[in-house]
């Protein structure tokens, strides 16, 4: 098993900030698409929302991000160490007392206390 851990260590990303549940983040994700002529093109799309859950450890770590778009709640799961993850930016740090914020699914507006700097 030591060989597997060494291979995982080479694939883990060190360039991303440390994020916690409750933080508002902007995730930039690369999509590969085929256009009408059949050529494969890639584009980057940003997804901004609140992290409501973190799962896994090591190379399999992922976050679940929720936002409200046109009055409809949208959730996406992003693997942290994926090569398709172009960027991860923290918009605001949140202060929460739970590890999973699934209760935000029932709320109309996403409200999380912000950490004070003082």
Number of H helices, E strands in the chain: 1, 5
- What per-residue confidence (pLDDT) applies to 33? 87
Percentage above 70 pLDDT, the chain: 90
The pLDDT mean for the chain works out to 89
What is the rounded average pLDDT of the residues 35-52? 92
Sketch the domain layout of the chain as residue ranges: 3-106
The pLDDT of residue 116 is 58
pTM: 0.82
Beta-bridge partner residues of 115: none
Residue 14 in this model has a pLDDT that exceeds 80: yes
47's CB contacts (< 8 A; 6+ apart) are 26, 27, 29, 65, 67, 76, 78
Largest CA distance in the chain: 56
Looking at domain 3-106, its CATH class is mainly beta
pLDDT digits (tens, 9 = 90+) for 49-88: 999 999 998 899 999 999 998 888 999 999 999 999 999 9
Between CA 26 and CA 6 the distance in angstroms is 30
Cα angle value 66/63/21 (rounded, 5°) = 75
Q: What is the pLDDT of residue 1?
A: 65
The distance of Cα 46 from the centroid of its chain, to the nearest Å, equals 10
* Residue 106 three-state SS: helix
Mean pLDDT confidence for 19-38: 92
């Amino acid at each position: 098993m030591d060989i597997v851990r060494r291979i995982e260590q080479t694939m883990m990303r060190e360039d991303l900030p440390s994020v916690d549940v409750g933080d508002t983040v902007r995730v930039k994700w690369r999509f590969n698409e085929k256009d009408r002529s059949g050529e494969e093109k890639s584009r980057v799309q940003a997804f901004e929302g609140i992290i409501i859950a973190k799962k896994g450890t090591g190379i399999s770590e992922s976050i679940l991000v929720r936002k409200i778009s046109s009055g409809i709640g949208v959730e996406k799961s992003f693997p942290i160490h994926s090569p398709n993850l172009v960027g991860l930016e923290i918009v605001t740090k949140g202060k929460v007392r739970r590890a999973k914020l699934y209760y935000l699914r029932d709320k109309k507006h996403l409200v999380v206390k912000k950490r004070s700097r003082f």
